[in-house]
Structures are given as structure tokens and as C-alpha cells.
């Protein structure tokens, strides 16, 4: 059983999808052992409490620099014996030291089909605003490993979602969460915990 540590900053809808998947037995090779929030008062912490999952809060503004925050997060992750780190709406850019310490053990879900509408500055509703402004007919979600480049790590799984003519950023965001993010994030989490993902030459492969 691998220890899954989920990093959050807000409402925790993707965290809830993971909790629900674990309850349904879809995540069976790992267990969510801790939720870490970058903010006080994040509703994701309430979700963790309801599910009986221990939580910790490591607030960015409590630290004088990005490096000192990275060190604090690293200490907590080591204490929690994290095997897999899942970014579920975590709004802090992780430091290089942490990324190297957990190379190919940190996954993130992004609300577009990378390489479209990704990278620095592309998060939340902004992603969907750009997609609609560009007039794309298909968007979706991507789960990828995290490296030093924003949204630049090896892609593990993607799922397309149709864009409708009357979509707003809000309706598109909701549909992509429901039809893609909440499905592929738990799937990738289980695949990782079952040792079914390998990375070779910068690409991720799912093993049979």
C-alpha cells in the first residue's frame, strides 16, 4: 500500500473525487494518508476531516522565501512518508529541490489537453476563457508528472471533452471536471500505486 499525500489550496473538488474513488475501491493499491493545504480555511480540509483523513497546513506567507517554504514542505512530506504526491488545486509552484526529491512521484491534473492552454498563468477559469476565445471544438483534461517546467512533465493520461456552442468558462470548467478530471485523476493514482506507470526518455507509459 502506497501513501498518497494530496496537496490542496481551495475547495478540494478533485480531492473529493479521489476520496470517493478510494471508497468505491477504485484506488486499492494506495491510501490517502494526509492532505496538506497551503491556506488556512480551505474547504478541502473539511473534506479531509469528514473522510477521517489527517490534514496539515503549511501556509506560504509564513515563510520568508520560496526556498524556506520548499524546505518546510519537504520536511512534512518526509514525515508523512509520501510515496505519491497528488496536486489537487495546489496554487503554489513547487520548488526545484522538492521536485527533484520526488522525481516522477508528483502528479498534477490540468484542465486542458496539454500542450494546449498550459504553462505559466494558465490555471482555473483562465484556461477555459482562452479555449473559448480560440474557438476550439474539443478540450479536456491531462494528468501529468510534475517537473521544473510548468505543465511540462511527462503526460500520463488525457481525456477529451466536447466544447458546446453556448459554453461559458464556468459551464466548460464544470463539464471538464465531471467528465474528465474526476475520472482520470483517480485512474492515474491507482496505476501509479500499482506500479503500472514507467517513464522513459521523458515519456510516461502505462504498463499492461
Query: Which one of 110, 128, 144, 175 is the catalytic residue?
Result: 110
128 is catalytic: no
Three-state SS at 134:
helix
Query: What kind and span of H or E run contains 7?
Result: strand 2-8
CA–CA dist 188, 41 (Å, integer): 28
Three-state SS at 32:
strand
CA–CA dist 87, 99 (Å, integer): 12
Which residue, among 137, 133, 124, has the nearest Cα to 163 in the 3D structure? 137
Q: At 155, give phi and psi (nearest 5°).
A: -80, 130
Cite the active site residues: 110
Amino acid at each position: 500500500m502506497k501513501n498518497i499525500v494530496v496537496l490542496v489550496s481551495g475547495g478540494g473538488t478533485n480531492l473529493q473525487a479521489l476520496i470517493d474513488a478510494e471508497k468505491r475501491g477504485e484506488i486499492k493499491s494506495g491510501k490517502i494518508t494526509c492532505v496538506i493545504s497551503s491556506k488556512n480555511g480551505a474547504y478541502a480540509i473539511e473534506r479531509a476531516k469528514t473522510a477521517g483523513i489527517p490534514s496539515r497546513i503549511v501556509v506560504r506567507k509564513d515563510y520568508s522565501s520560496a526556498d524556506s517554504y520548499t524546505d518546510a514542505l519537504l520536511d512534512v512530506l518526509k514525515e508523512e512518508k509520501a510515496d505519491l504526491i497528488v496536486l489537487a488545486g495546489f496554487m503554489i509552484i513547487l520548488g526545484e529541490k522538492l521536485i527533484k526529491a520526488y522525481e516522477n512521484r508528483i502528479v498534477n491534473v490540468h484542465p486542458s489537453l496539454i500542450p494546449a492552454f498550459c504553462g505559466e498563468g494558465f490555471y482555473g477559469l483562465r484556461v477555459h476563457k482562452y479555449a473559448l476565445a480560440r474557438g476550439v471544438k474539443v478540450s479536456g483534461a491531462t494528468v501529468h508528472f510534475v517537473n521544473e517546467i510548468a505543465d511540462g512533465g511527462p503526460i500520463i493520461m488525457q481525456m477529451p471533452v466536447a466544447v458546446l456552442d453556448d459554453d461559458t468558462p464556468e459551464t466548460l470548467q464544470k463539464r471538464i471536471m465531471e467528465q474528465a478530471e474526476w475520472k482520470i485523476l483517480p485512474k492515474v493514482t491507482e496505476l501509479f500505486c500499482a506500479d503500472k506507470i514507467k517513464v522513459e526518455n521523458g515519456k510516461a507509459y502505462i504498463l499492461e
